Chain A
Amino acid sequence: MSVIKNNIYKFLSSLSLTIFLLCFIAFGSIFGTVIKQKADVEEYLSIYSDTTYTIIKYLGLDDVYHSPWFIAAIVLFAINLALCTYGRFARLIKTEGKVALPDESELSDMSMVFHVGSKERENAIASIKKGYQTIYEGEEGVVLQKGVISRYGVYMIHGSILIILMGSLIGMLFGYKGFMTLRKGETKDQLILRGTPPKEVPLGFSLKCKDFQVSFYPGGAPKDYVSKVEVLDNGRVVMERDIRVNSPLSYKGINVYQASYGASTSFLFTIAGERVTLSERETYEKDGLVMMIARFESSIHNFGPGVLVAYLDQGEPKVVWFLKDVERLKEQKIQGVNIKLEDIKENFYTGLEIAKDPGVWVVWTGFALILFGLYANFFIYYRRIYIRNIPDGLIVAGIAFKNREGFKEEFEKLKRKVSGNGS
């Protein structure tokens, strides 16, 4: 039993698994980059054939980063990384505790070594110790070290990758990403989560769009999208802000981003003396009258804009055109009810991306740690200096595991300084 366990551990912490997984993840990411993700079926079918689309759908290539095989690879990678790191770290800790001063012959075999006469002994030890940390001091000599943090650089980098993965997992489990469209003056407290089918969920507070403006450069390129938004919590205005593309709004851990904009048309009717504003595809139902705005055309045979209204006549669907600029067709009776098309309004709406990501600070911590780890790993290096008492003075030897060239220079300088003290 323990043999199997051992083998599983060996497999999960092996470097070959790491290499395989990294290649696998990279390969999956290629599909995720080349194939458009989370698009509509129509869009895929306009690019790919039916068979190709079936394969794409079956393998989850239309949403690679949420497909089970990709997530499984990431989880396996996290386990692999954690085990590897743990194994190496445990070994480091074990050797860290043991500091041994090699004997004289071993020291004189080292590539960087020099001798100090017995007269200068005290001065030499004092000046070498400067800037170094003493990790062992005894009768027979001293062991010094510097740049110990660089030995932990690798673990910081590995650890921070795990932290970043954890942060994104937190975001995936406890956060969401959705959107909301708001017309000028409109207030909403629900956002729509993407997916099939899209789902409406409460936001916890309301957003009111007070104004929306798009400005363009003289050449026609977009310059700025600004939504003037009010945040209402329990009916009270708690915040008022302009949301721009690079300047989101943040309230109660939920971020609201300026994502898009568009125009929608609304239709002002007077139905049996009552003013009603309807938008496209919206249904109106009252006192047995059921009608819906089926279609809008901005121009019908030079008669101006028109609205196709669908209604039910004793269960039978029927349609009728209302033309705004034609007196006779502006006001009509449907099932005896007087209906008048008063106005057609084109209004801009703002598209807001709404995201909650409680893992974001975990991810940022991981980012900071990874940068520090890279710095520690590449720009600081670990070196040790051994000083041993010998009958006619001292023997000083140095060793570095990285940047040997750099340490050689430093060691030569030290040698000159120490011998300079003596003369």
Chain B
Amino acid sequence: MDHKILGVVTLLYLSIFFLHILYFAVKKEKMLSFMWILLYITLGLHAAGLVARWVESYRLGIGHAPLSNFYESLIFYAWCIGFVLVILKKRLTFPIITMMASLIALGFMGYASISSSVERKIQPLIPALQSNWLHIHVITCFIAYSAFVISFICGLLYLIKWKNVVPPKEMLEEINYRSVVVGFPMLSAGILTGAVWAHYAWGSYWSWTPRRRGR
């Protein structure tokens, strides 16, 4: 069930991307409002897919939020990117930013569903992850990562000069600042909640391994 919904969601991200390309070809402003409606629908359906996976995990008797393995991280990451776009909607008057962001979200969704190295089955939670800190830690981190996706796009666009397509430098700076202002405190909160959790679960703030546990 959740795989089917997320499959449709992946296609929707693809259509959002194509809609942008179409917009650059015909330049009809109406298409942009349609694009935003489509983005809302996609985001809603994406959330429904995550919830379906959550429900499914309970049906399997290993109930946990879909935030535990690599596949679930990618799917959640893509959702967060869409979410940050909606938060910044007022400032995203140039569609190039939403276009690149939807391409990145599409990339994560596509990689998650195609790559053979990604385990798509719902896996049980190992004891180390069985904690409510998991939700707080993962959500704050991924919102930060997604905000950084937007600032990455702004940084990239800053290097390109393309009148009427790429926003003026001041605007890029403003959007970049906004996304970093969301991302930086969120990542700090993510690292701190991670340290609190680690200290609570095994007595040290931070274990200096590249990744504490395989995601």
Are A and B co-members of a single complex?
Answer: yes
Confirm or deny: B208 has a beta carbon within 8 angstroms of a beta carbon on chain A.
yes
Contact with A along B190-215 (1 / 0, CB 8 A): 00100110011111110011100000
Confirm or deny: B93 has a beta carbon within 8 angstroms of a beta carbon on chain A.
no
Q: Are B210 and A33 in contact (CB under 8 A)?
A: yes
Tell me how far the C-beta of B170 lies from the nearest C-beta in chain A, rounded to whole angstroms: 10
Once A32-B208, A375-B185 are accepted as A-B contacts, the answer to whether A248 and B200 lie under 8 Å apart by CB is yes
Residues of B within 8 A of A245 (CB): 127-128, 130, 201-202
Contact with A along B89-130 (1 / 0, CB 8 A): 000000000000000000000000000000000011011101
Report the separation of the CA atoms of residues A222 and B174 in the bound assembly, to the nearest whole angstrom.
Answer: 48
Q: Are B124 and A257 in contact (CB under 8 A)?
A: no
Tell me how far the C-beta of A64 lies from the nearest C-beta in chain B, rounded to whole angstroms: 8
Assign chain A's interface to a size class. 35 or more
Residues of B within 8 A of A217 (CB): 62, 124
Confirm or deny: A370 has a beta carbon within 8 angstroms of a beta carbon on chain B.
yes
Residues of A within 8 A of B210 (CB): 33-34
Residues of A within 8 A of B130 (CB): 224, 244-246
Residues of A within 8 A of B174 (CB): 405
Q: Are B188 and A370 in contact (CB under 8 A)?
A: yes
Residues of B within 8 A of A224 (CB): 127, 130
Residues of A within 8 A of B166 (CB): none
Confirm or deny: B23 has a beta carbon within 8 angstroms of a beta carbon on chain A.
no
Residues of B within 8 A of A367 (CB): 192, 195-196
Residues of B within 8 A of A375 (CB): 185
Once A353-B203, A374-B184 are accepted as A-B contacts, the answer to whether A223 and B128 lie under 8 Å apart by CB is no
Q: Are A255 and B203 in contact (CB under 8 A)?
A: yes
Report the separation of the CA atoms of residues A246 and B129 in the bound assembly, to the nearest whole angstrom.
Answer: 8
Nearest CB in chain A to that of B133: its residue: A246
Report the separation of the CA atoms of residues A63 and B48 in the bound assembly, to the nearest whole angstrom.
Answer: 47
Residues of B within 8 A of A360 (CB): 199
Contact with B along A66-94 (1 / 0, CB 8 A): 00000000000000000000000000000
Report the separation of the CA atoms of residues A367 and B198 in the bound assembly, to the nearest whole angstrom.
Answer: 14
Confirm or deny: A177 has a beta carbon within 8 angstroms of a beta carbon on chain B.
yes
Confirm or deny: A3 has a beta carbon within 8 angstroms of a beta carbon on chain B.
no
Residues of B within 8 A of A29 (CB): 208
Q: Are B127 and A244 in contact (CB under 8 A)?
A: yes
Contact with B along A236-249 (1 / 0, CB 8 A): 00000000111010
Residues of A within 8 A of B19 (CB): none
Contact with B along A347-378 (1 / 0, CB 8 A): 00000010101001001100100110011001
Contact with B along A216-242 (1 / 0, CB 8 A): 010101111100000000000000000
Report the separation of the CA atoms of residues A64 and B192 in the bound assembly, to the nearest whole angstrom.
Answer: 22
Q: Are B127 and A246 in contact (CB under 8 A)?
A: yes
Confirm or deny: B38 has a beta carbon within 8 angstroms of a beta carbon on chain A.
no
Tell me how far the C-beta of B122 lies from the nearest C-beta in chain A, rounded to whole angstroms: 11
Assign chain B's interface to a size class. 20 to 34
Tell me how far the C-beta of A165 lies from the nearest C-beta in chain B, rounded to whole angstroms: 12
Report the separation of the CA atoms of residues A45 and B149 in the bound assembly, to the nearest whole angstrom.
Answer: 41
Among A221, A225, A375, max chain B CB count under 10 A is at A221
Q: Are A370 and B202 in contact (CB under 8 A)?
A: no
Q: Are A374 and B126 in contact (CB under 8 A)?
A: no
Report the separation of the CA atoms of residues A245 and B133 in the bound assembly, to the nearest whole angstrom.
Answer: 13
Confirm or deny: B189 has a beta carbon within 8 angstroms of a beta carbon on chain A.
yes
Which residue of A33, A363, A374 is within 8 Å of B209 (Cβ)?
A33
Among A29, A33, A217, A364, max chain B CB count under 10 A is at A217
Which residue of A221, A353, A371, A405 is within 8 Å of B202 (Cβ)?
A353
Which residue of B124, B127, B133, B203 is within 8 Å of A355 (Cβ)?
B203
Report the separation of the CA atoms of residues A360 and B210 in the bound assembly, to the nearest whole angstrom.
Answer: 24
Contact with B along A369-404 (1 / 0, CB 8 A): 011001100110000000000000000000000000
Confirm or deny: A181 has a beta carbon within 8 angstroms of a beta carbon on chain B.
no
Q: Which of chain A's residues 325-356 have a Cβ closer than 8 Å to chain B?
A: 353, 355
Report the separation of the CA atoms of residues A222 and B133 in the bound assembly, to the nearest whole angstrom.
Answer: 20
Q: Are B208 and A221 in contact (CB under 8 A)?
A: no
Residues of A within 8 A of B62 (CB): 217
Report the separation of the CA atoms of residues A34 and B209 in the bound assembly, to the nearest whole angstrom.
Answer: 7
Q: Are A177 and B203 in contact (CB under 8 A)?
A: yes
Which residue of B185, B201, B208 is within 8 Å of A257 (Cβ)?
B201
Q: Are B196 and A364 in contact (CB under 8 A)?
A: yes
| A binding-site residues for B, Cβ under 8 Å | 29, 32-34, 37, 64-65, 168, 177, 217, 219, 221-225, 244-246, 248, 255, 257-259, 353, 355, 357, 360, 363-364, 367, 370-371, 374-375, 378-379, 405
> Would you give 20 A-B contacts (Cβ < 8 Å), ordered by A?
A32-B208, A33-B209, A33-B210, A177-B204, A221-B126, A222-B126, A223-B127, A224-B127, A224-B130, A246-B131, A246-B200, A248-B201, A257-B202, A257-B203, A360-B199, A363-B205, A364-B196, A374-B188, A375-B185, A379-B181
| Contacts A177-B204, A257-B201, A367-B196 supplied; 11 other A-B pairs, CB < 8 Å | A33-B208, A219-B123, A244-B127, A246-B133, A355-B203, A355-B204, A357-B203, A367-B192, A374-B184, A374-B185, A379-B181
| B binding-site residues for A, Cβ under 8 Å | 62, 123-124, 126-128, 130-131, 133, 174, 181, 184-185, 188-189, 192, 195-196, 199-205, 208-210
